[in-house]
Structure formats: C-alpha cells, structure tokens
A and B are shown apart, each in its own frame.
Chain A
Amino acid sequence: AQTVTQSQPEMSVQEAETVTLSCTYDTSESDYYLFWYKQPPSRQMILVIRQEAYKQQNATENRFSVNFQKAAKSFSLKISDSQLGDAAMYFCAYRSAEGVSEKLVFGKGTKLTVNP
C-alpha cells in the first residue's frame, strides 16, 4: 500500500519570504499523481498544485512550485512571497494512475503559520 509522509507538523514563515514544505511517499508503482492541498480553517480542501509522475518538469502555479524527485520519492512544495492568506494546513496526497480508482492517500499535514 502507498504511504505519504510529511515530517514537519508545523512550519512558520515571515510574510513575503519563501518556505518549503516536505513530503515523501512510498510506492511500487511507476505511474501516479501527486498533489498538494490547502485546508484553511473553513475546512474547504483547495487544490494548490499537482504533478504527474511521468513528467520530469516540476509543476508551477504562480507563487507555488514543487521539487519532484521521482527516484528519491520526494515531492516538496515551495511557496514564494508568502502571504497572510497562505496560512493553513497543507496536505500532500498520492493517487495511483495504474487502476480505476481515483482515491487519494494523504499525509498527516503541515500547519503553516505566516507571520506579518
């Protein structure tokens, strides 16, 4: 079974600075998807960024980018120019592309605090 590990229960960053959240995963599959979701206090799960395992190029969405290291099974999220609205729980998630199921396996999450 696949597992996702987020080793940083909490992180903090100063507004306008850069922070990196770590995620590692374990799988025997070669084709899969990886995601970062943000969960603010409203409980809504918001997709931040996604990466297809077959793509070598790291995904980027505005201030958010990932460092995907397939051999190392690492998928870190970098937030540049941090804003107060970035404060939330961040979950890394894995989804197999080798079956019909679309279910996600989540890490335990990292609570990000942004200091003004």
Chain B
Amino acid sequence: SAVISQKPSRDICQRGTSLTIQCQVDSQVTMMFWYRQQPGQSLTLIATANQGSEATYESGFVIDKFPISRPNLTFSTLTVSNMSPEDSSIYLCSAGAGAYQLFFGSGTQLSVL
C-alpha cells in the first residue's frame, strides 16, 4: 500500500490569485494523477504527472491554468492559477501501487471568493 499526504487540506482564496497543492507519497511511484471533484460531482482527471517529463493533460485542462511539477518519484504539485469561483472544488492527488489500485490523498477543499 501507499500513504499519500496532501496539503493544504482546505483553503479559501481570492479570485485572481494562485494556489499550489502539494502531494507526497511514502514510496516511489511511476505515475501520479491529479483529479478535480466539483461540488456534488464525480472525479475528473486533470492530468497525469510523470517524473522527468511534461505532464499529460486531459481534454479541457491546460498547462497555463493547471501547471504541474514532478521533481522526483515521490512528490508532485498542482497549481491552480488565476482562480475564479468556478475553480471551487476538491482537488485530489493519487498514485499507482502496481496494477491493481490507485491510492488517494485526502484532498484539498478549495473555495474561491
């Protein structure tokens, strides 16, 4: 199994500002993933973060809005840039643990005023 620490757990931000969310895994993993969960909705994949290469973004998500770093095999950050109230969501980090499952962090609850 893997333990994923994510911080901050919640934040309230002003529109136009940026927030960086950190994700730390207690073991080396190949892929890390960032998901968004809008209020009352399911999880939508934002991007896949691979160590040593550019993140791969899903349709509808762009690097300028959601820049991602992956400096090593245990750590990643997601930045939500130039925030608007529509960015108010839960952001979840996850990492693979072999073929069978993904583990998740406890999420970051973001509210944009």
Contacts and interface: CB of A to CB of B under 8 A. Distances in A.
Interface of A: 33, 35, 42-45, 47, 50, 52, 91, 95, 97, 101-109
Given A45-B43, A102-B102, 17 more contacts: A33-B99, A43-B92, A43-B107, A43-B109, A44-B104, A44-B106, A45-B94, A47-B101, A52-B100, A91-B42, A103-B48, A104-B45, A104-B94, A105-B45, A106-B42, A107-B42, A109-B42
A35 B99 CA distance: 12
B69 to A, nearest CB: 19
Sorting the interface of chain B by its residue count into under 10, 10 to 19, 20 to 34 or 35 or more gives 20 to 34
Nearest to A43: B107
A43 B48 contact: no
B100 A33 contact: yes
B107 to A, nearest CB: 4
B8 interface: no
Interface string B78-113: 000000000000101010100111111011010000
B53 interface: no
The 3 closest A-B pairs by CB, nearest first: A45-B104, A43-B107, A102-B96
A97 B100 CA distance: 9
B43 A106 contact: yes
A92 B33 CA distance: 18
Contacts of B44: 106
A50 B101 contact: yes
B31 interface: yes
A2 to B, nearest CB: 12
A77 B31 CA distance: 28
Q: Determine which residue in B44, B45, B48, B102 has the highest number of CB atoms from chain A within 10 A of its CB, and name it.
A: B102
Given A102-B96, A106-B43, A108-B41, A35 B101 contact: yes
A56 B91 CA distance: 35
Contacts of A101: 31, 48
B70 to A, nearest CB: 15
Nearest to A35: B101
Contacts of A97: 99
Nearest to A51: B100
